[in-house]
Structure 1
């Protein structure tokens, strides 16, 4: 019977596959951001009605959607931290991903509506009170900028918060457009500059939102996480003494950071359970230290699944 090396003989390399930072998202910052957006929305509705500026009213609606987005983000964060239950054995971690997807989808819809409104304004310019428009726009810009700074750090920790951050960042840019448009209309009567800036801002927001949608869909579809190379994992595990093969592999993300791994390990010899346990621990250490995978479930076998590939084919692929 072979003596298999212990964990300390493995050379570990730390790889960072997630683009998200570690740390706890600040609930207080989310609450302050939500209140700021509600205040901005009320101010812009009043200013828009008094000045006749449709851009202020539409920006107010955007801020209301921001407040709703932040409220959803806050609720999702609170629920996602709850532990597992008998009914939900994985807990509520996926709720944050669903919130990010919903927020990004709303941003895409708003961007498309802004494109439509911009075209209408280009074709049919409207007379507005430019000084009031610029004044209210400055208030909105200051408040939105403060909100952006409140969430800037947390945007790197959560897709959910990142989607809310994008809402706020796009609003800050929109406020710049409103202020610039008001100044341009006041001095040079250039009414077309506001819808042009709105289209440019919308294109940026659309790009960022589509990236968030792609990331969340990949997680919800339980696709292989970004940066995780199955071939590299296969070679690393197979190179361990005593392991013949790795197959029936599944790698997915439960939430934004938790990567799960399961697979079957085919052993070279029919060894005892205690000896196979040593090998199993070696594989777990390897996956954790080299690939950043903390949650591992392995099935140890001896000639259990002959002729099986790294990823098991579905029934439809076999027939």
Structure 2
């Protein structure tokens, strides 16, 4: 029977591998499209003297980085752990996302300063050129959104990239509206105003990413995990006295790990102890979605220091 099922298993593996490669190609094309938008908008922003085009170029540059990170992460995530990196290489994307977010916020603050200078000293802007360049940006963003639309529900990184591109599309619409208004009515104060609005949007969107990456690197408890609820549920398992020295953290944006001491009500043999631990692991997996579980099981362990959180 095992031999009969083997071809089907191989077929599924090959299909999964092919799907990952196809997803990677889409991410790479989306990256190249966004880089082309960035180059065109930087040139167009300088020539037209439009600060909002430059800020939109910044947004696209940041999102190109985010999409490329998703592409590289897909490659790196398949690399196996080794003797030096026993957890593997999954946190590379977290470090890159943190760096990307900090740089984006820093440049936005600089653009706010430039926008303030433009409010104080308005400068002539070529609205027609601004409109043409922003329209190119909108079309390229729409193509990228269509490319990733079908994969957004299957992968967290792709979903994040998709949301970035959706934000780019909205900001391109704002710059197009501003370019049209400047071209027809010469209301040049709209340019720094759009710059500020796009910058606020970027910071609002990026701050959540920075906070999440810092939480992951600090091994904070994920927002959807309640330690007190874990304690309550586990201590209802037959044979468990208490659970203590509990730590829950995320290795990356999806993998949740847990380690704890499981104190039993009585001194039992190894088979009974394994059965209790198995029940605890099943509960943690099914009710809390925690798949990577390490439980140190014992009787009257830790010398009465049974605090839920251990002070090192």
Residue by residue over 1:78-119, the C-alpha shift from the partner in whole angstroms, topping out at 9 and shown as x without a partner, is: 212322111111001111222222222222123212212221
Q: CA RMSD in A?
A: 2.6
Superposition TM-score, scaled by structure 2 size: 0.83
For residues 119 and 259 of structure 1, what CA distance do their matches in structure 2 show? 44
1:57, distance to aligned residue in structure 2 (A)? 4.5
2:65 aligned residue (68, 76, 82): 68
Cα distance change on mapping 1:209 and 1:162 into 2, 3 Å: farther
1:225 aligned residue (222, 226, 241): 222
Q: Could you tell me which runs of 5 or more consecutive residues in structure 2 were left unpaired when the two chains were aligned.
A: 1-18
Partner residue of 2:262? 265
**2:115 aligned with 1:136, yes or no?**
no
C-alpha contact (below 8 Å) 1:81/1:93 kept by paired residues: no
Partner residue of 1:290? 287
**2:280 aligned with 1:280, yes or no?**
no
For residues 206 and 262 of structure 2, what CA distance do their matches in structure 1 show? 40
Residue by residue over 1:123-164, the C-alpha shift from the partner in whole angstroms, topping out at 9 and shown as x without a partner, is: 222223222221121111111233244446666666655665
SS, match of residue 223 in structure 1: coil
* Structure 1, 272-281 or 96-105: larger mean CA deviation: 96-105
2:241 aligned residue (234, 241, 244): 244
C-alpha contact (below 8 Å) 2:243/2:308 kept by paired residues: no
* Structure 1, 72-81 or 256-265: larger mean CA deviation: 72-81
Superposition TM-score, scaled by structure 1 size: 0.82
For residues 190 and 66 of structure 2, what CA distance do their matches in structure 1 show? 28
For residues 108 and 158 of structure 1, what CA distance do their matches in structure 2 show? 26
Larger RCO, structures 1/2 (Cα 8 Å, 6+ apart): 1
**2:208 aligned with 1:211, yes or no?**
yes
Cα distance change on mapping 1:176 and 1:120 into 2, 3 Å: farther
SS, match of residue 245 in structure 2: strand
Residue by residue over 1:200-219, the C-alpha shift from the partner in whole angstroms, topping out at 9 and shown as x without a partner, is: 22212211211111111111
Cα distance change on mapping 1:62 and 1:205 into 2, 3 Å: closer
SS, match of residue 275 in structure 1: helix
Cα distance change on mapping 1:128 and 1:304 into 2, 3 Å: closer
Residue by residue over 1:22-58, the C-alpha shift from the partner in whole angstroms, topping out at 9 and shown as x without a partner, is: x979322211111112222333344345444454355
C-alpha contact (below 8 Å) 2:38/2:61 kept by paired residues: yes
Cα distance change on mapping 1:115 and 1:291 into 2, 3 Å: same
**2:172 aligned with 1:175, yes or no?**
yes
Which structure features the higher share of helix residues? Answer: 2
1:34 aligned residue (31, 50, 56): 31
Q: Could you tell me which runs of 5 or more consecutive residues in structure 1 were left unpaired when the two chains were aligned.
A: 1-22
For residues 97 and 227 of structure 1, what CA distance do their matches in structure 2 show? 19
1:73, distance to aligned residue in structure 2 (A)? 3.1
SS, match of residue 93 in structure 1: coil
